[in-house]
Chain A
Amino acid sequence: MFDPNKLRKDFPFFENVKKMQGNNLVYFDNAATTQKPRQVLDSIIQYYSKENANSHRGDYDIAHLVDDKVDKTRDLVSKFLNCDKREVVFTSGTTMSLNLIAYGYGQKFLTKDDEILISEEEHSSNILPWYEVSKKTGAKVKFIRLVDGKITLEEIKKAISSKTKLISLAQVSNVLGYKIPAKEICKFAHEKGILVSIDAAQSAPHMKIDVKDMDCDFLSFSGHKMCGPTGIGILYGKFELLNRMDSFLVGGGNNITYDTGCNVSYLYPPEKFEAGTLNLAGIYGLYAAIKYLNDIGLDNIENYEKELKDYAIKKLSSNKNIIIYNKDSETGILTFNYNGVFAQDEATYLNSKGICVRSGQHCAKLLNDYLKTPATIRASFYFYNTKQEIDQLAKVLENGGNFLDAYFN
């Protein structure tokens, strides 16, 4: 049985940090990063305190344990995504994964006659790497028109041309939380010979992903947004594509042989992209995080977050001063403002009442041209949040106009 109150007990953070500014702490910034269960922390400590050795062909037992864990983690990730193990690359996170696609594929294969299609709703980590591709190759970056903040297949059809070579989109937007029709987009794109890169930073932690079924060409996500540690993430790529790509890091661990005449023979993917000592503690932590999420069940997580979101809409709708920008989005991201109060001031007020939210442009500066507000407040839920916490948010917002209380109480 899914029970958030029981799951919370796995998180030392909630045990250790009960109050903020004298009020019950409510952590609603899960789209930025999530808390870590004991299982993940234990796994990291296990590495540093019992199995601390480098990976890559260590000739002793402990080093072998590490190699084994790296291998097992790759295996677990491949099952998590439904792909081949050779298609799982360890990176430092979504940002690095997207940069690797842009550098390794985009800068290598795209030309001035090509177009890359993204949307205004993307995180800057899924915009700026493509701008760099554009600067280096002359390829053009084009934007899909959003319909009420959503990406539709219809608009993608209108936005592509015979020059479009790659579409890169977030499966779930970090600002409004809408899901894109990823499978339909991939099917359509492939009919036109276009590759699809999926930014799964906000989807992989919250819903089941099957890259075979979706048929995307690349998919990126971060460990820290799914109960794992910072500094570890995944790039999935179809093997044939990874094989043709360049690595932007070269050095120890990604080559087989080299001579003094600059001749190098690189390893096959995924090792080809993993030069240098890996974030091994991060890999141990990611292993435990994925196991933890699997045990809860991604479907349970997705359903419960939707329930929380619906509950929050219901609770907040009676407050006439609250403007909600994404009532109908399906995930646990709630984007709103308090009438007449600058988002950052309202977020500070919420801080003074113990509630962690994020104000801002969420790295998606462009979106504000569409939302027509310089900034929004985002409350983002995870499976360990509760309806009581949403009640606290609703109650505190009843007085949300008195934002200077943050300084004078």
Chain B
Amino acid sequence: MPTSINDKLKREIIIDHYSSPRHKKTPENINDYQKIHMDSVSCIDNIYVYVKLDNDKIVDACFDGVACAISTASTDILCDLIINKTKAEANYILTQYLNMIYEKDFDDSVLDEAIVFSNTYKQAARIKCATIGCNGIEELIK
């Protein structure tokens, strides 16, 4: 996905992943998953993040709980990006994502739809929401 996608499309992508997230669920075979609880005093978001590993490979990732548009959409998109990746590949993607959020240099070639969050810095109070899922996944695959 080119970085130049317009704002209208970015908004549509966020709304789409917020109103119909693909990965917002509690897994049925919950015992096959690593799980982490993520919440914060600075926002209402309160989610569980789940990752299923097959040795070094992430075979599934999902999340569930109470979450705003930004945390829901960002976590959902990141789940999309890391499923079927190795831990190392996933870590690289998450690092690029965080670099983008924190306005550092980043490799946009791996971020695909996650690029829609490049404006998060405009609402500093929501950086926590855009990173809560990312931080959870990072914890689980480090």
Residues in chain A within 8 A of chain B (CB atoms):
21, 341-345, 348, 351-352, 359-361, 374-375, 403-404, 406-408
Q: List 16 A-B contacts (CB under 8 A).
A: A342-B67, A342-B69, A343-B44, A344-B126, A345-B68, A345-B70, A351-B123, A360-B44, A374-B44, A375-B66, A404-B14, A404-B15, A406-B122, A406-B123, A408-B10, A408-B11
Contact A352 B122 (CB under 8 A): yes
Residue from A342, A348, A361, A403 in contact with B125 in the complex, judged by beta carbons closer than 8 Å: A348
Residue from A341, A342, A374, A407 in contact with B122 in the complex, judged by beta carbons closer than 8 Å: A407
B91 / chain A contacts, CB cutoff of 8 Å: none
Residues in chain B within 8 A of chain A (CB atoms):
7, 10-11, 14-15, 43-45, 66-70, 119-120, 122-123, 125-126, 129
A348 / chain B contacts, CB cutoff of 8 Å: 70, 123, 125-126
B67 / chain A contacts, CB cutoff of 8 Å: 342
Q: Which residue of A lies closest to B130 (CB)?
A: A407
Instruction: Kindly state the separation between the CA atoms of A142 and B67 in the bound complex, as whole angstroms.
Output: 30
Residue from the set B45, B120, B122 with the largest chain A CB neighbour count within 10 Å: B122
Contact B44 A361 (CB under 8 A): yes
Contact B119 A408 (CB under 8 A): yes
How far in angstroms is the closest Cβ of chain A from B114?
Answer: 14
Contact A342 B68 (CB under 8 A): yes
Residue from the set A341, A359, A361, A406 with the largest chain B CB neighbour count within 10 Å: A406
Instruction: Kindly state the separation between the CA atoms of A21 and B125 in the bound complex, as whole angstroms.
Output: 13
Instruction: Kindly state the separation between the CA atoms of A217 and B42 in the bound complex, as whole angstroms.
Output: 35
How far in angstroms is the closest Cβ of chain B from A125?
Answer: 14
Contact status of A408 and B123, CB under 8 A, knowing A344-B68, A344-B129: no
A359 / chain B contacts, CB cutoff of 8 Å: 44
A345 / chain B contacts, CB cutoff of 8 Å: 68-70
Contact A403 B69 (CB under 8 A): yes
A404 / chain B contacts, CB cutoff of 8 Å: 11, 14-15, 69
Instruction: Kindly state the separation between the CA atoms of A408 and B14 in the bound complex, as whole angstroms.
Output: 12
Known A374-B44, A407-B123; 14 more pairs at CB < 8 Å: A341-B69, A342-B67, A342-B69, A344-B44, A344-B45, A344-B68, A348-B123, A352-B122, A374-B66, A375-B44, A375-B66, A403-B69, A406-B122, A407-B122
B125 / chain A contacts, CB cutoff of 8 Å: 348, 351
How far in angstroms is the closest Cβ of chain B from A23?
Answer: 13
How far in angstroms is the closest Cβ of chain A from B59?
Answer: 30
Instruction: Kindly state the separation between the CA atoms of A348 and B43 in the bound complex, as whole angstroms.
Output: 11
A351 / chain B contacts, CB cutoff of 8 Å: 123, 125
Contact B44 A407 (CB under 8 A): no
How far in angstroms is the closest Cβ of chain B from A57?
Answer: 41
B7 / chain A contacts, CB cutoff of 8 Å: 408
Instruction: Kindly state the separation between the CA atoms of A360 and B40 in the bound complex, as whole angstroms.
Output: 12
How far in angstroms is the closest Cβ of chain A from B44?
Answer: 5
Residue from the set A375, A404, A408 with the largest chain B CB neighbour count within 10 Å: A404
Instruction: Kindly state the separation between the CA atoms of A408 and B12 in the bound complex, as whole angstroms.
Output: 12
Contact B119 A407 (CB under 8 A): yes
How far in angstroms is the closest Cβ of chain B from A140?
Answer: 28
B120 / chain A contacts, CB cutoff of 8 Å: 407
Instruction: Kindly state the separation between the CA atoms of A375 and B71 in the bound complex, as whole angstroms.
Output: 15
How far in angstroms is the closest Cβ of chain B from A22?
Answer: 11
Q: Which residue of B lies closest to A361 (CB)?
A: B44
Residue from the set B7, B15, B67, B126 with the largest chain A CB neighbour count within 10 Å: B126
Contact status of A352 and B123, CB under 8 A, knowing A361-B44, A408-B7: yes
A361 / chain B contacts, CB cutoff of 8 Å: 44
Q: Would you list the 5 A-B pairs with minimal beta carbon distance, nearest first?
A: A344-B68, A407-B119, A408-B7, A342-B68, A345-B69
A407 / chain B contacts, CB cutoff of 8 Å: 119-120, 122-123
Instruction: Kindly state the separation between the CA atoms of A342 and B7 in the bound complex, as whole angstroms.
Output: 21
Instruction: Kindly state the separation between the CA atoms of A341 and B70 in the bound complex, as whole angstroms.
Output: 12
Residue from the set A21, A343, A348 with the largest chain B CB neighbour count within 10 Å: A348
Instruction: Kindly state the separation between the CA atoms of A378 and B43 in the bound complex, as whole angstroms.
Output: 14
How far in angstroms is the closest Cβ of chain A from B124?
Answer: 9
Instruction: Kindly state the separation between the CA atoms of A352 and B119 in the bound complex, as whole angstroms.
Output: 13
How far in angstroms is the closest Cβ of chain A from B22?
Answer: 19
Q: Which residue of A lies closest to B73 (CB)?
A: A404
Residue from the set B67, B68, B119 with the largest chain A CB neighbour count within 10 Å: B68
Instruction: Kindly state the separation between the CA atoms of A359 and B66 in the bound complex, as whole angstroms.
Output: 14
B66 / chain A contacts, CB cutoff of 8 Å: 374-375
Q: Which residue of A lies closest to B43 (CB)?
A: A344
Instruction: Kindly state the separation between the CA atoms of A407 and B70 in the bound complex, as whole angstroms.
Output: 10
How far in angstroms is the closest Cβ of chain A from B39?
Answer: 11
